[in-house]
């Protein structure tokens, strides 16, 4: 059927989602040893939303995040960061895109031990020769509650405080999306809660888009939305999750 005059043009001026994956497939190996880690995943992440990716072990969570973040190349399909198709970029462009437009938080905090909390937060900006927005720095430091700890070395901080430094570092340049892979995997539950509350507040208060891989239903319950993978396919998608509703879906997926 043809479009009516009232329907929007295919390319409207409306801002696209922060990240969009279309029919993403990732095949490892070939022939008999072929593993289809992602099998036609299409998903979009809205700006300012905090989304968790869950699923059984081997379901493709890390592969999906790595393809979304331009750390790995998909076999087919596309990934857009805003309007940029990252699957078409050359290595050098991809390196700059990861540096300038994406933030990363890993399970291990990856702080430099000889630098203070403040110096660690500022380091990527220094390396990239970016001007630091002092107002944003102050706001982030206050949201993470790190003000009294700025002059401390990582060894003088708790695990939760170190991870908050890592999150502040990832947020400083206002990346279009922050990817967090099991950010609370190395933390006790209290420190984990601090970091998760901070990720949630950064989405709410700073309109920061956050995508987090986690195994933990309690961690996922901090998100606005949870998407579930099984065997490389997106099989469920829930809004306003609670630890109970997430656990319920997971149990069904694993059975």
Ligand X SMILES: Nc1ncnc2c1ncn2[C@@H]1O[C@H](COP(=O)(O)OP(=O)(O)OP(=O)(O)O)[C@@H](O)[C@H]1O
Site stretch for Mg ion (CB under 5 A), options 46-54, 61-69, 147-155, 162-170: 61-69
> Of the two residues 25 and 62, which places its CB atom closer to Mg ion in the complex?
62
Q: Does 183 bind ligand X (CB under 6 A)?
A: no
Q: Tell me the per-residue interface mask from 17 to 46 with ligand X, x by CB under 6 A, - otherwise.
A: -----------xx-----x-x---------
Task: Supply the minimum distance, in Å, between the C-beta of residue 23 and ligand X.
Answer: 17
Distance of CA 243 to the CA centre of its chain: 20
Sign of CA dihedral 174, 246, 16, 97: positive
> Of the two residues 37 and 141, which places its CB atom closer to Mg ion in the complex?
37
* Strand ranges of the sheet holding 177-181, from the earlier edge strand across to the other edge: 102-105, 177-181, 210-213, 50-54, 225-230, 233-239
Task: Supply the minimum distance, in Å, between the C-beta of residue 181 and ligand X.
Answer: 9
The tokens describing 71, both together, are 């750390």
Buried/exposed code over 240-253 (b: 16+ C-beta within 10 A; e: otherwise): ebeeebbbebbeeb
Q: Are 246 and 77 in contact (CB under 8 A)?
A: no
Task: Supply the minimum distance, in Å, between the C-beta of residue 173 and ligand X.
Answer: 27
Q: Does 107 bind Mg ion (CB under 5 A)?
A: no
Site stretch for Mg ion (CB under 5 A), options 7-15, 56-64, 100-108, 141-149: 56-64
> Of the two residues 182 and 194, which places its CB atom closer to ligand X in the complex?
182
> Is 229 in a helix, a strand, or coil?
strand
Which distant-in-sequence residues (6+ apart) come within 8 Å of 204 by Cβ?
48
Task: Supply the minimum distance, in Å, between the C-beta of residue 234 and ligand X.
Answer: 12
Q: Tell me the per-residue interface mask from 46 to 65 with ligand X, x by CB under 6 A, - otherwise.
A: ---------x-xxxxxxx--
Q: Is 143 left (phi over 0), alpha (psi -120 to 50) or beta?
A: alpha
Q: Does 62 bind Mg ion (CB under 5 A)?
A: yes
Number of residues lying near ligand X (CB under 6 A): 12
Distance from C-alpha of 108 to C-alpha of 251, rounded to nearest angstrom: 28
Q: Are 151 and 117 in contact (CB under 8 A)?
A: yes
37 binds, among ligand X, Mg ion, none (CB under 5 to 8 A by kind): ligand X
59 binds, among Mg ion, ligand X, none (CB under 5 to 8 A by kind): ligand X
Q: Which residues bind ligand X (CB under 6 A)?
A: 28-29, 35, 37, 55, 57-63
């Amino acid at each position: 059927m043809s479009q009516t005059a009232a329907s929007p043009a295919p390319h409207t001026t409306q801002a696209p989602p922060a990240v969009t994956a279309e029919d993403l497939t990732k095949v490892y190996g070939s022939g008999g040893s072929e593993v289809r880690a992602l099998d036609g995943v299409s998903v979009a992440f809205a700006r300012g939303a905090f989304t968790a990716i869950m699923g059984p072990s081997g379901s493709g969570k890390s592969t999906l995040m790595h393809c979304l973040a331009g750390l790995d190349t998909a076999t087919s399909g596309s990934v857009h960061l805003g309007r940029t198709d990252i699957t078409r970029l050359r290595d050098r462009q991809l390196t700059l895109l990861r540096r300038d437009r994406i933030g990363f938080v890993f399970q291990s905090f990856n702080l430099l031990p000889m630098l203070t909390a403040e110096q660690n937060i500022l380091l990527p900006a220094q390396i990239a020769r970016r001007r630091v927005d002092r107002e944003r720095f102050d706001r982030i430091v206050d949201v993470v509650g790190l003000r009294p700890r700025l002059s401390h070395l990582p060894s003088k901080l708790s695990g939760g405080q170190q991870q908050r430094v890592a999150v502040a570092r990832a947020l400083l340049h206002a990346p279009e999306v922050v990817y967090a892979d099991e950010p609370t995997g190395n933390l006790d539950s209290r420190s984990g809660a601090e970091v998760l509350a901070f990720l949630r507040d950064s989405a709410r208060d700073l309109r920061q888009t956050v995508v987090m891989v986690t195994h933990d239903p309690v961690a996922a319950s901090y998100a606005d939305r949870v998407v579930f993978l099984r065997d490389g396919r997106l099989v469920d998608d829930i809004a306003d999750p609670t630890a109970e509703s997430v656990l319920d879906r997971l149990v069904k997926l694993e059975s």
